[in-house]
A and B are shown apart, each in its own frame.
Chain A
């Protein structure tokens, strides 16, 4: 009798759990045919939504979905008005005056005032976060306008402005990061820490209203989990990788490949090895890669299309600069694959294969070097292997590919070539990569010790310019001015190889609109134009 009772209870519990399956499916577990909602299998669920603590700081991580910024960037990276109806910059490039629009409201119903802008900037200026407003000397309000004074000019400051979300002074408290109040196109209606967050269209938004009302971002940090979720139809769109994209096909879904500036290349020490030990106690320089003809031979002699095909199944485009496709990138930096030219560069420089072992040498030094990559990063490894194979077969250069942990590479990077990846929507990156003041620092930007007086001049002119538009010609000249530059036509400290495509499984019928060229990272750039997404079927 007792046994029977136990069994009945167990059966009842099981029945209830499976009955639970049925009832959960109805409200949310499958989104099929709900045309006013999109479920996104996402990798980067924020740990908070507080712009004053750094949320959205890099300008492409979602701050603009919930918060207004004074200005924003459009799909072609032009600066366009947002909360500020217009703005002016003084001739000395130090004073920015923003005229605010008067119809903007926070989602708690209160109007967005100049005081809120001042509060936001003042708090960030003194806070210790990765939002860098250290250039800002003062922020003042005058009626409906805000004036920001800088201590020195920086043309890219307007991109920082485009990243700073405005928070309401009256509602800012210690819980703000969990329950943010903004004036952007969406409002955060639910946030389950580390699991999911939900954005719903803000009915009071002053700009053009989103086409789809509700977006559910679900955390899936594992790429196999994301694939499984798409295969079982539980998400409408989710991130994937070149490896999984090449071998999977999901009925009812298509593969979306977006161009990115997420580039990958080989950085090469440009100074010779003179036995110098730098301030970090590490060896500096290489007697092989300090030969500019050797570097250029690799730049011209590697077939980038083949590397895209071999390393990432074709889900990439050839890379020629650190920011291909951006308005401030110089299209003249692109080079043609030219094996004959590469070989003549090597031979003119004295690199010949005298002993017949297939590897060239010069003055008794073999054309052989190790190439470092971060152990565990399979894409970097594949790119390195593909480059190595080509270099040996076509150029007689031996590249010994070896994965190492980050801290080991950090000590060896001043003397040995390594695979690095860049990809930023901010041209300041070029300054950090190539200005001589940053050479040889341990922040990964310029381990090759590249310096050039001419390039320094262009970069300084670019930074001191009044606007991005005025800075653009100088950024372009820094890459290639017709005779020198940082690109592979010029001094070639970086051998850029591929721009990775960002890949997504998308349910048929979901249109993700025209996207900006994606910056580094494939999660947030995808959703930056969320208000243009729509269901077409």
Chain B
């Protein structure tokens, strides 16, 4: 029991130090950014006087030294105050809250797509190792690994939205329908294309790693022995393969949280999907520092949680990993 408490507290120390490190680095990067936050805000607004600019600079505190600004921001954060978004003029925590729900739905759908299909196809390839089916699917997977998200997003849009008309061109709700009249099914339908686009990122990865591991397992002595006993291919996979090949799949799946976050920036922009990714890119382009930092910290926690879950699952899948830790 005490060991558990110890390992949990180590985790907590790690996540806190990670958050501090990331926030310092982010703050430094934003401070070094060539975008002048004032010019970005004023944009094409001619005739903003110096007096007014000075007032805005004071309001946003852009002329204070970075270290001072960081401490100010950090101490407010400790009191639960993430600041106010410059773009949306709303508290950052409120924006993250509303958008996280949308992004989570998207990432979860993409994550399940890529996990389930990636694993299944990986198994298929492993079982047909070296045969035409394997080599064709493997090539497709390699191509998928190298396809940029924005491109596949546009292809999906053209094929499924323009040519076939199966799915809408974007957004998370139908055009011109009041929020109270939007059904769950309409939301699901709006989710499918962006989620498919996003899942392309990790789908092929999961499949290829699963395939490698399965090939390795199938060449092992115990599988040879099982086959000698007369077990069928399927029963070999079920009894001896699944657990062994789950480890790489689980690692890929949970470490793909960070890729999903990165991919969501692009997928959400293509499909006008109102999630954290779209907010992050807007915040970056318009120098909305409180919002950008808020989203960054939030994503750190999210990715960290993903890796922590993977670590915990290893123990369940393969008890030997605990023994090694002793």
A residues whose Cβ falls under 8 Å from a Cβ of B: 16-21, 23-24, 27-29, 31, 37, 39, 47-48, 50, 53, 57-58, 128-130, 132, 134-135, 156, 160, 177, 190, 192-196, 198, 214, 216, 218-222, 224-225, 228-229, 231-232, 234, 405-407, 410, 424, 426, 428-429, 432, 443, 519-521
List 16 additional contacts besides A132-B49, A225-B154, A424-B46; criterion CB under 8 Å. A17-B188, A20-B185, A47-B89, A48-B88, A53-B89, A128-B58, A128-B59, A130-B42, A177-B89, A177-B90, A194-B272, A196-B171, A221-B269, A225-B272, A229-B169, A406-B34
Complex contact B176–A198 (CB within 8 A): yes
Interface segment, one of B14-22, B134-142, B156-164, B309-317: B156-164
Is B130's CB within 8 Å of the partner chain A?
no
Q: Given A57-B45, A232-B162, A222 and B270 touching (CB < 8 A)?
A: yes
Which 8 residue pairs are nearest across A and B when measured between Cβ atoms?
A407-B34, A128-B59, A20-B185, A28-B176, A194-B274, A428-B47, A128-B56, A429-B46
Complex contact A193–B181 (CB within 8 A): no
The closest CB in chain B to the CB of A20 belongs to: B185
Q: Given A29-B168, A48-B88, A192-B179, A225 and B270 touching (CB < 8 A)?
A: yes
Complex Cα distance, B178 from A232, in Å, reads 23
Contact check: which of B35, B44, B269 meets A520 at CB < 8 Å?
A: B44
Complex contact B168–A216 (CB within 8 A): no
Complex contact B169–A228 (CB within 8 A): yes
The closest CB in chain A to the CB of B51 belongs to: A134
Interface string of B58-80 (1 = CB under 8 A from A): 11100000000000000000000
Q: Given A47-B89, A128-B58, A222 and B171 touching (CB < 8 A)?
A: no
Complex contact B175–A234 (CB within 8 A): yes
Q: Given A134-B52, A232-B161, A160 and B47 touching (CB < 8 A)?
A: yes
Complex contact A228–B185 (CB within 8 A): no
Residues of B within 8 A of A27 (CB): 174, 176-177, 181
The closest CB in chain B to the CB of A520 belongs to: B44
Most chain A beta-carbon contacts within 10 A, residue among B35, B58, B173 = B173
Is B165's CB within 8 Å of the partner chain A?
yes
Give B182 Cβ to nearest chain A Cβ, in Å. Answer: 9
Complex contact A156–B47 (CB within 8 A): yes
Contact check: which of B39, B44, B186 meets A521 at CB < 8 Å?
A: B44
Give B224 Cβ to nearest chain A Cβ, in Å. Answer: 31
Is B232's CB within 8 Å of the partner chain A?
no
Complex contact B272–A221 (CB within 8 A): yes
Is B87's CB within 8 Å of the partner chain A?
yes
Is B205's CB within 8 Å of the partner chain A?
no
Q: Given A193-B88, A443-B39, A220 and B272 touching (CB < 8 A)?
A: yes
Residues of B within 8 A of A195 (CB): 171-173, 272, 274
Complex Cα distance, B56 from A112, in Å, reads 30
Residues of A within 8 A of B49 (CB): 132, 134-135
Contact check: which of B158, B170, B186 meets A20 at CB < 8 Å?
A: B186
Residues of B within 8 A of A222 (CB): 154, 269-270
Is B166's CB within 8 Å of the partner chain A?
yes
Complex contact B60–A128 (CB within 8 A): yes
Give B154 Cβ to nearest chain A Cβ, in Å. Answer: 5
Complex Cα distance, B94 from A177, in Å, reads 14
Complex Cα distance, B169 from A231, in Å, reads 11
Complex Cα distance, B256 from A125, in Å, reads 49
The closest CB in chain B to the CB of A193 belongs to: B274
Give A493 Cβ to nearest chain B Cβ, in Å. Answer: 17
Give B189 Cβ to nearest chain A Cβ, in Å. Answer: 5
Is B249's CB within 8 Å of the partner chain A?
no
Is B183's CB within 8 Å of the partner chain A?
yes
Interface string of B31-46 (1 = CB under 8 A from A): 0001100010111111
Q: Given A29-B168, A220-B169, A405-B34, A228 and B158 touching (CB < 8 A)?
A: yes
Complex contact B88–A190 (CB within 8 A): no
Most chain A beta-carbon contacts within 10 A, residue among B52, B181, B188, B282 = B52
Residues of A within 8 A of B89 (CB): 47-48, 50, 53, 177
Complex Cα distance, B241 from A294, in Å, reads 78
Residues of A within 8 A of B88 (CB): 47-48, 193
Complex contact B272–A24 (CB within 8 A): no
Is B9's CB within 8 Å of the partner chain A?
no
Complex Cα distance, B170 from A192, in Å, reads 13
The closest CB in chain A to the CB of B186 belongs to: A24
Most chain A beta-carbon contacts within 10 A, residue among B47, B49, B181, B274 = B47
Complex contact A424–B56 (CB within 8 A): no
The closest CB in chain A to the CB of B55 belongs to: A128
Contact check: which of A18, A192, A220 meets B274 at CB < 8 Å?
A: A192
The closest CB in chain A to the CB of B59 belongs to: A128
What are 15 A-B residue pairs whose CB atoms fall within 8 Å in the complex?
Answer: A16-B185, A24-B177, A58-B45, A128-B52, A129-B56, A130-B45, A132-B45, A132-B52, A195-B171, A198-B176, A221-B269, A224-B157, A232-B162, A232-B165, A234-B168
Give A280 Cβ to nearest chain B Cβ, in Å. Answer: 12
Is B233's CB within 8 Å of the partner chain A?
no
Is B98's CB within 8 Å of the partner chain A?
yes
Query: Which B214-266 residues have C-beta < 8 A from chain A?
Result: none
Complex contact B175–A225 (CB within 8 A): no
Is B5's CB within 8 Å of the partner chain A?
no
Residues of B within 8 A of A216 (CB): 175-176
Q: Given A17-B185, A220-B272, A234-B175, A424 and B44 touching (CB < 8 A)?
A: yes
Most chain A beta-carbon contacts within 10 A, residue among B45, B168, B179, B274 = B45
Residues of A within 8 A of B35 (CB): 406
Q: Given A28-B176, A228-B158, A220 and B48 touching (CB < 8 A)?
A: no
Residues of B within 8 A of A20 (CB): 183, 185-186, 188-189
Complex contact A218–B175 (CB within 8 A): yes
Residues of B within 8 A of A156 (CB): 47
Complex contact A219–B162 (CB within 8 A): no
Complex contact B189–A228 (CB within 8 A): no
Is B278's CB within 8 Å of the partner chain A?
yes
Give B115 Cβ to nearest chain A Cβ, in Å. Answer: 17
Residues of A within 8 A of B189 (CB): 17, 20-21, 24
The closest CB in chain A to the CB of B57 belongs to: A128
Complex Cα distance, B169 from A221, in Å, reads 12
Residues of A within 8 A of B48 (CB): 130, 132
Q: Given A27-B176, A128-B56, A232-B162, A218 and B47 touching (CB < 8 A)?
A: no
Residues of A within 8 A of B170 (CB): 218-220, 225
Contact check: which of A130, A177, A194 meets B41 at CB < 8 Å?
A: A130
Interface string of B76-117 (1 = CB under 8 A from A): 000000000001111000000010000000000000000000
Q: Given A218-B272, A220-B170, A426 and B176 touching (CB < 8 A)?
A: no
Is B279's CB within 8 Å of the partner chain A?
yes
Residues of A within 8 A of B44 (CB): 58, 424, 519-521
Give A24 Cβ to nearest chain B Cβ, in Å. Answer: 5
Most chain B beta-carbon contacts within 10 A, residue among A39, A53, A220 = A220
Complex Cα distance, B45 from A426, in Å, reads 9
Residues of A within 8 A of B177 (CB): 24, 27-28
Complex Cα distance, B169 from A224, in Å, reads 11
The closest CB in chain B to the CB of A39 belongs to: B175
Complex Cα distance, B271 from A194, in Å, reads 11
Give B155 Cβ to nearest chain A Cβ, in Å. Answer: 10
